Structure 1
Amino acid sequence: MSAPTWPAPTHLHAAGARLVLTDVNREALAHLAEELGAETTAPEAIFDAEVDLFAPCAMGAVLDDIVVERLRAKVVCGAANNQLATPAMAERLMARGILYTPDYVANAGGVIEIAWQRREDYRREAVMAHIEGIGATLDELFARAASEGRSPATIADAMARERFGRG
């Protein structure tokens, strides 16, 4: 049996990151950890790990009152949808000095790909150019959040309304 493939940890490992991984599937976790030379921890202990980046990638509403207080990471950026248990958690992360990347901005690449697939003029290079723009969007989002003293989640919502003409 082969373990699932997780491109993000593989890319982070290749870039020289020290990884602390967890998963409820302990067998798959052990396989990936061995492959990447990564440390592992129990799912309930991941919030206490001394890490730079916390990447919630499977479960929504994981960032609740308790987790936000326990979290030791400097940045939250993951692939799970609806990571915040409530919108107030974005403000709590900001108050703790933890940079939060709104899930729908971090995950925009998948939506962009799907939108392009529905077009008659689909071109892979155009899709990738569009996806590369996510970095500029994040730069703008974080700059506005810092200058306005508001959470990135609040700014992301405002930017979405502006871009879709509902601002």
Structure 2
Amino acid sequence: MEIFKYMEKNDYEQLLFCQDKQSGLKAIIAIHDTTLGPALGGTRMWTYKSEEAAIEDALALRLARGMTYKNAAAGLNLGGGKTVIIGDPRKDKNEEMFRAFGRYIQGLNGRYITAEDVGTTVADMDLIYEETDYVTGISPAFGSSGNPSPVTAYGVYRGMKAAAKEAFASDSLEGKVIAVQGVGNVAYTLCRHLHEEGAKLIVTDINKEAVQRAVEEFGAQAVDPDDIYRVECDIYAPCALGAIINDDTIPQLKAKVIAGSANNQLKDTCHGDIIHEMGIVYAPDYVINAGGVINVADELLGYNKERALKKVETIYDNIEKVIEISKRDNIPTYLAADRMAEERIEKVRRSRSQFLLNEHHILSRRK
């Protein structure tokens, strides 16, 4: 496997392999870009088929790179990184493993900050915290923000209003029919915000109890999972599966706005092009669902809920900026989101280069 080619393709800065024989730790830390600040990204634990598959998850699937763009678009002074731990999260975990991993993070001296991800928990983060301060999403008893789902939901709600403003010339969601796919922790809180504003909800989920809860508490209409795409609605909110905007679902959609919390909603970039040509306003997933990362990033300052929520509210402005760039450059919003992140990174990079150049000139004159 030609690792440097993988790294060069997406301009990764650093790839670290961490092992601890006694605990069974086998971890890969991928640091994509630290132009804006330390790399922040979660630790994923999974039963990979091979070491190459684990590396591809961190690099080829652009997990760390995605965090660079997400943090930049959210206006955070943080870069992007990601960790994958090879192992079965149901049976291979132990205290020594996460403490050993924490020591590796500490050795990076703040260059990388981790958090919870697929296959890891708050309890795992607490163990990492025993060895390093460079971890977020720990237990509230240690000064953490706790469950990020309500904050993520609030950010999606704010971003949805911005997208609605573009589609309907008003950001009011009162009377709007909103089809919510998935009623998990984030989507449940999102439904509450929408219900309180007077939206009409259509919901679906494979968890029938979650659906029934939304029906009883928010007066939602329930539909079967396969029917959510074709319902008559103003806004479609994918809050469960990834790759859900695809060749099969797009022809069924009747919504004018797509805005939800799910990650990686586009199956392929071509699907972002198609919905753009259809005139559907798409709120790019990593921009609209950034409330969680904004929330945990505030822990680095000493968590203040009011300050964190104020920052989450700017997701509204970020969606507006994406739409503005989309119009300016005549490109789909998924590309506009990337461009917004890239422009911010490039401005900081140029500013830093100019500063270093000026410092060099000053030192040269002194000599």
Same fold (TM over 0.5): yes
Contact kept in structure 1, 2:325 and 2:340, CA below 8 Å: no
The aligned residue for residue 10 of structure 1 is 192
Please give the alpha-carbon distance, in whole angstroms, between the structure 1 residues aligned to 2:286 and 2:219.
Answer: 30
Please give the alpha-carbon distance, in whole angstroms, between the structure 2 residues aligned to 1:131 and 1:70.
Answer: 32
The one-letter code matched in structure 2 to 1:100 is Y
1:114 and 2:296 are equivalent in the alignment: yes
Residue 4 (structure 1) shift: 6.5
1:135 and 2:316 are equivalent in the alignment: yes
**Cα-to-partner distance string for 1:26-60 (whole Å, 9 max, x where unaligned):** 23212321221111111101000111111111111
TM (norm. structure 1) is 0.90
Q: 1:158 to 1:4 in 2, by over 3 A?
A: closer
Gaps of 5+ in 2: 1-182, 351-367
The one-letter code matched in structure 2 to 1:130 is K
Q: How does 1:66-85 map onto structure 2 within 5 Å?
A: 66-85=248-267
Please give the alpha-carbon distance, in whole angstroms, between the structure 2 residues aligned to 1:125 and 1:164.
Answer: 27
User: Does the residue aligned with 1:126 lie in a helix, a strand or coil?
Assistant: helix
Q: How does 1:1-167 map onto structure 2 within 5 Å?
A: 6-119=188-301, 121-165=302-346
Please give the alpha-carbon distance, in whole angstroms, between the structure 2 residues aligned to 1:23 and 1:161.
Answer: 36
User: Does the residue aligned with 1:113 lie in a helix, a strand or coil?
Assistant: helix
Q: 1:131 to 1:69 in 2, by over 3 A?
A: same
Identity %: 37
Contact kept in structure 1, 2:260 and 2:285, CA below 8 Å: yes
Please give the alpha-carbon distance, in whole angstroms, between the structure 2 residues aligned to 1:27 and 1:109.
Answer: 26
Which protein has the larger Cα radius of gyration, Structure 1 or Structure 2?
2
**Cα-to-partner distance string for 1:8-43 (whole Å, 9 max, x where unaligned):** 111111111111111111232123212211111111
Larger relative strand fraction: 2
The one-letter code matched in structure 1 to 2:202 is V
Q: Which moved more, 1:22-31 or 1:123-132?
A: 123-132
Q: Which of structure 1's runs of 4+ aligned residues deviate more than 3 A?
A: none
Please give the alpha-carbon distance, in whole angstroms, between the structure 1 residues aligned to 2:279 and 2:335.
Answer: 16
TM (norm. structure 2) is 0.43
Give me the CA root mean square deviation.
1.9
Gaps of 5+ in 1: none
**Cα-to-partner distance string for 1:53-82 (whole Å, 9 max, x where unaligned):** 111111111111111111111111111100
Residue 97 (structure 1) shift: 1.1
